[in-house]
Amino acid sequence: MSIYEGLRYYHMLFGDRALLTMSAYRLMAMGTPREITARAAGIKHPVRLRPKTTDVIVYKEVLLDGQYNIDLPFVPQTIVDAGANIGMASIFYAKKYPKAKIIAIEPESSNFALLLRNVARYPNITAIRAAIWNRDGQINVGERDPDKQASGNWAFVTREGDGVQVRAITMQTLMAEMNLGSIDLLKIDIEGAEKEVFEQCNWLDRVRALAVELHDRFKPGCSAAVNSATLEFTRLQRGEITFFMRHP
């Protein structure tokens, strides 16, 4: 993508302010700003994004394209955003369901720091730094892409082995600590850890609906684990997101 095409793309997504910021950095040979501010239509507060990272793609898919926009047969009161990244899905849900209690869980430190800033003005969103896993304790967070491609700089995986240690928490423990008797909507985008989480899921009977991004391309067996656990749910595919609704 040429500089001109890149600036046009940023203007299309973020408007005049972001274009002026990017252009000023280019003109002063300062490279790319660390952050830009974006305001999506209908979203109460602006969000902060890091150019040349997955932030831009996630912002477009979630807040502009409505990736998680599905009509549920009920109004959710409790929502868990597992793999919250920088908070785009949590903010989308806060707009769609302003009375819902939303728990945003993100393990990676730089993502979590920006998540905190993005959701700070939403009193119904609680951010927790942890990784959803199949046991409580500690787990490692590392880069998914060993070549550190620009588009993957902030896409991280939880795994045994190399990485930075972070708290690992099961769904049972999360629900107990946050006093959640049930979860109306569980969004999961955890870069392959869904295999471990859904292989042991005696918590699923307390979930009414799920929105899951499956990652068999990173870890074979993710779809098999999720599909096996959700036999009592109706399935709907929309792009990369699979929605599961519990049978009435």
Q: What is the pLDDT of residue 153?
A: 44
- CB neighbours (10 Å) of residue 12? 12
Q: What is the pLDDT of residue 12?
A: 58
Domains of the chain: 64-246 (3.40.50.150)
The mean per-residue pLDDT over the stretch 166-186 comes to 96
Cα distances (Å, whole numbers) of residue 248 to 178, 180, 213, 241:
26, 21, 23, 22
The pTM of the full predicted model, rounded to 2 decimals, is: 0.84
Q: What is the pLDDT of residue 92?
A: 98
- DSSP string over the chain: --HHHHHHHHHHHH-HHHHHHHHHHHHTT----S-EEE--TT-SS-EEE-TTSHHHHHHIIIIIS-TT----SS--SEEEEES-TTSHHHHHHHHH-TTSEEEEE---HHHHHHHHHHHTT-TTEEEE--EE-SSSEEEEEEES-TT--GGGTT-EEEESSSSEEEEEE-HHHHHHHTT-S-EEEEEE--TTTHHHHHHS-TTGGGEEEEEEE--TTTSTTHHHHHHHHTTTEEEEEETTEEEEEE--
Among 17-21, 154-158, 231-235, where is mean pLDDT lowest? Answer: 17-21
Q: Is residue 247 pLDDT above 70, yes or no?
A: yes
Q: Tens digits of per-residue pLDDT, 25-78? A: 444 445 566 888 888 989 999 999 998 788 989 999 999 999 999 999 999 999
Q: Is residue 226 pLDDT above 60, yes or no?
A: yes
Q: Tens digits of per-residue pLDDT, 37-52? A: 888 989 999 999 998 7
Q: Is residue 151 pLDDT above 70, yes or no?
A: no
